[in-house]
Structure formats: C-alpha cells, structure tokens
C-alpha cells in the first residue's frame, strides 16, 4: 500500500478519491448488472441514462439550464475544438477575433487561420505571457471572439471578460467548474475533461444553439456541432468510460454545493500558496499579481543552484507533479478542484523548511 501523493499535476490531474473508487467499482460490476461499464453498449438504457444525466448536470452546474444551450461530450480533446470552432462559426470569407494569452490560445489561432482571416485583438507574447492584455477592441464585424480563460502553462487567468455583441467563445479547459462566472455571457465553451471534470478522453462543449448554422460551409458530420446535437452526443460511439467518470466528478461537485462552494475552497488554496510565494525570499511568482491563476501557480527559485535541494524536499514530502511545463521550466502548482487544502499546506511547509535550510 503506497501513500496517496499530493498531486500537483497540470492534467491529467487529481480527481476526487470517491470518483476513483466508484469508477473502479463500475469497471468490475456496473450498477449490479453483472457487467463492466467497459463492456456494455453505448446504446444500452444504462449508458444512455449516464449520457443524459452528464449533459444535463453540466448545464445545471453552469447555470445554463433552459437558456438555449446544449452540452456535448465529444472526442478529440480541446485541440480538436480549435478547428471545430472556426469550421462551425466562421463564415466563408468571414473573420474571427482572437486574444493571444499563451501557448494554447496560439494553437487555437493557428487552426483558425486555415479557415479565414483572424484578427489578433491583443497578445501578451512579448512579455512571455506573464499577464492578460486589457482594454483591447473587439471588431464588431467579426464572426466570433475567442479567448482562453486560464493559461495552464503561464499561470494567468482572465478575471474580467470583455463585453461584446458578437458571439464569445472560450477555451475553459483548465478552469471550468472552478469559479462562479456568468456563463450565459459565452456562446460556446469548451474544455478537455482532464482537469476539473474527469479523465482524458472526452471534451465538454457547451453551445448556444442559435449561433449555429450561419456559415454557409459544408461541414463534415463528425466536425459538425449540429450533427452532434441532433444525435444527442452519440453520433458515433462516445468515450463511455471518460464520460462516466466525468459524471461522477460532476455529481461530487453538485453534492459539495456546486461551483460557488468549490470556488471558496479554491480561493483559500490559492491565497495560501501565493501568500507564501510572495513572502518567502527564496521564491518569486512569474505571473502579474492581478492576473495570476487560482488553478496553476507558476513560480521560480531565486537561485537555480538550490533546485536540487528543493526538489529533494518536496519529493520527500510526498508531492508529485510540481515541475513547470517543459517549455517554461520552474515550478507549477496546479490546484484543481479535487486537490485538498491540506496538500497546499504541505507544499507551503516545505517552502518554509527550505527557507530555513538555505538561509
């Protein structure tokens, strides 16, 4: 029996322990059926009920029930949405507006360029994406505006979204279900499951139906949101296990009190860690204070020569997944919904022990 680690992985990441337990049980014997969740038909009554509940619960948690939205659980990750969004929303000879706040935003922009004109409303690239640009203008004649709510690699997060009359699309892969927002401001939200929602293998797409069907493009069925809506998210065999585990995570969140309840805990976790990063003279944060992410806290050692000692210390404390993204280095503490406050306290204790040792 190995001790459960304090898992700071950026994704796939920690999920609630009860989700692991219930998922494991369902693999052996689903709903006392004598069958594994892995061997039943996706068209069976039991799985159709899972799909329906997952779609309804996602909308419920986001406060979007009865407001003209549809929730889909698709394949292909958030990266496929980078191209499904322009395919479904950018008119022939149209244009789209993008905010460039990091690596993933950039990947979305690259895909959109294959479909038509993309207008970059602002970019924080020259400052190595250490902040969220503000005060930019969104062209009123663009087909949609696309932004990334949380920049997983650079540790920044949009705290206040712009006002616009054109459809607003948001990649919420790394902070969906983590904080209260007026989600009805958005016309399309997408998120790979593998942070706050479940295991890798499915992507949640939440769409205001009225924005679809306006491009004049011939869209292949598998990439066509309208097709997926008509087929109730079962155009082809859905990733059944990823959706089931996602449903369990959404149920966990609902029982906890929903997004408002988890936001309080997330605020506490972020405050605890950022207070230490700011106080401790041996560390520095990389993101501008006002834009820093409550999900991914990125930080550096002031003296890189101390890295072997710090690395040895956090590993000995049972911490896992702390190194920063391979493209930026340093450290990144991902504090997704399922990471307990106690895990953050363990990291803060290590940082204080480290300070004592090196000073």
Check 100, 104, 252, 314 and give the catalytic one.
Answer: 104
- Tell whether 2 is in a known binding site: no
The reply, when asked if residue 175 is annotated as ligand binding, is no
User: Is 78 marked as a binding-site residue?
Assistant: yes
Nearer to ligand PMP, 121 or 301 (CB): 121
Nearer to ligand PMP by Cβ, of 88 and 202: the residue is 202
- For residue 349, what is the enclosing H or E element? helix 341-358
- 102 torsion bin: left (phi>0), alpha (psi -120 to 50), beta (else): left
Q: For residues 153 and 124, what is the distance between their CA atoms, to the nearest angstrom?
A: 13
How far apart CA 219 and CA 5 sit, in angstroms, is 45
How many Cβ atoms are within 10 Å of 284's Cβ, its own excluded? 13
Report the alpha-carbon distance of residue 124 to residue 98 in Å, rounded: 12
Neighbours of 236 (CB within 10 A): 11
Q: Does 36 count as an annotated binding residue? A: no
In terms of CB distance, is 139 or 323 closer to ligand PMP?
Answer: 323
State the minimum distance, in angstroms, from the CB of residue 173 to ligand PMP: 4
| Cis before 159 (ω within 30) | no
Q: Catalytic residue at 171? A: yes
Check the annotation: does 104 bind a ligand: yes
> H/E element holding 188?
strand 188-192
Q: Which helix (H) or strand (E) holds 74?
A: strand 69-74
Least distance (Å) between residue 331 CB and ligand PMP: 17
Listed in sequence order, the DSSP H helices in 36-124 are 45-61, 77-89, 103-113
- In the complex with ligand PMP, the residue whose CB is nearer, 47 or 82, is 82
Which of 171, 175, 187, 291 is flagged as catalytic?
A: 171
79 is in an annotated binding site: yes
CB of 6 to ligand PMP, least distance (A): 20
- The catalytic position among 22, 195, 208, 269 is 195
Q: How far apart are the first and last CA of the chain?
A: 37
CB 273 within 8 A of CB 331: no
Cα 225 to Cα 117: distance, rounded to the nearest angstrom:
22
Cβ neighbours of residue 211 closer than 8 Å, sequence gap 6 or more: 89, 144, 167, 187, 188
Rounded to the nearest whole angstrom, what is the least distance from the CB of residue 291 to ligand PMP in the complex?
15
- Select 77 or 94, whichever has its Cβ closest to ligand PMP: 77
CA separation for the pair 244, 323 (Å, rounded)? 30
CB 347 → ligand PMP: shortest distance, Å? 21
191 is in an annotated binding site: no
Contacts with ligand PMP by CB under 6 A lie at 11, 77-79, 104, 148, 152, 171, 173-174, 192
Choice between 5 and 75, CB closer to ligand PMP:
75
Residue 193 Cβ vs ligand PMP, minimum distance, rounded to whole Å: 8
Numbered residues of the known binding site for L-glutamate:
43
Residues assigned a catalytic role:
104, 171, 195
Binding-site entries? 43, 78-79, 104, 152, 171, 194, 236-237
Binding-site residue numbers for pyridoxal 5'-phosphate are: 78-79, 104, 152, 171, 194, 236-237
């Amino acid at each position: 029996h190995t001790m459960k680690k304090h898992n700071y992985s950026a994704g796939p990441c920690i999920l609630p322990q009860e989700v692991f337990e219930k998922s494991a049980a369902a693999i052996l014997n689903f709903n006392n059926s004598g069958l594994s969740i892995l061997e039943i038909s996706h068209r069976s009554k039991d799985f159709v009920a899972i799909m329906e509940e997952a779609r309804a619960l996602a909308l419920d948690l986001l406060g979007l029930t009865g407001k003209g939205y549809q929730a889909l659980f698709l394949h292909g990750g958030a990266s496929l949405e980078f191209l499904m969004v322009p395919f479904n929303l950018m008119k022939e000879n149209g244009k789209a507006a993008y905010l460039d706040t990091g690596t993933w935003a950039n990947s979305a922009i690259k895909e959109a360029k294959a479909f038509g004109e993309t207008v970059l409303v602002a970019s924080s690239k020259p400052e190595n994406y250490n902040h969220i640009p503000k005060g930019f203008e969104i062209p009123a004649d663009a087909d949609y505006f696309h932004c990334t709510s949380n920049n997983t690699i650079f540790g920044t997060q949009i705290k206040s979204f712009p006002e616009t009359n054109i459809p607003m699309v948001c990649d919420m892969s790394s902070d969906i279900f983590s904080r209260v927002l007026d989600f009805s401001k958005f016309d399309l939200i997408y998120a790979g499951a593998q942070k706050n929602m479940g295991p890798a293998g499915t992507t949640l797409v939440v769409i205001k139906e009225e924005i679809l069907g306006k491009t004049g493009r011939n869209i292949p069925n598998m990439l066509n949101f309208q097709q997926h809506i008509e087929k109730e998210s079962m155009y082809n065999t859905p990733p059944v296990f990823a959706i089931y585990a996602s449903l369990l995570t959404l149920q966990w969140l609902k029982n906890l009190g929903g997004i408002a309840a988890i936001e309080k805990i997330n605020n506490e976790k972020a405050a605890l860690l950022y207070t230490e990063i700011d106080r401790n003279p041996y560390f520095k944060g990389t993101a501008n204070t006002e834009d820093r992410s409550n999900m991914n806290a990125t930080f550096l050692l002031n003296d890189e020569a101390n890295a072997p000692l710090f690395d040895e210390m956090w590993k000995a404390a049972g911490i896992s997944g702390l190194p920063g993204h391979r493209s930026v280095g340093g450290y990144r503490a991902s504090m997704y919904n399922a990471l307990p406050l106690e895990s953050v306290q363990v990291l803060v204790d290590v940082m204080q022990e480290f300070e004592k040792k090196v000073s």
